[in-house]
Amino acid sequence: MNFFANLKISHKMLIISLLVCVLLATAFVLGNWWIRELGRDFHAYASGHQVVAFAAAEMYAEGLQSEQATRNILLNPADEKAMKNYRKALVNFDAAYNKAKKVSDETSD
């Protein structure tokens, strides 16, 4: 501290200003790095986990639809509309399942 006490006031201000600039530059570099990492993590989430979650929600909805169609078929076996709804729900469920499985397999590697 004796070195700092013997400096002129202009030199003291210069050293403090340089220190503040170095700290500011360090904060800028670390902030930029953090934002890039956040963007990379968000992209991984949006292209992987979120797609699987949406596919799971779609599978749930199609499962409910097939349940409703099954109930209608049991109540009225001659109902062609119920059979058509059941087949459509089954196809949609399989499509959502295959999509979720594909994305899940790609993201697990």
Task: Render 17-51 in DSSP notation, one character per residue.
Answer: HHHHHHHHHHHHHHHHHHHHHHHHHHHHIIIIIHH
CA–CA gap between residue 69 and residue 73 (Å, rounded) = 6
**Sign of the dihedral through C-alpha 18, 20, 23, 28:** negative
Q: Give the model's confidence band at 59: pLDDT under 50 very low, under 70 low, under 90 confident, else very high.
A: very high
Q: Give the model's confidence band at 1: pLDDT under 50 very low, under 70 low, under 90 confident, else very high.
A: low
Q: What is the pLDDT of residues 96-108, one digit of tens each?
A: 999 999 988 887 6
pLDDT at 109: 56
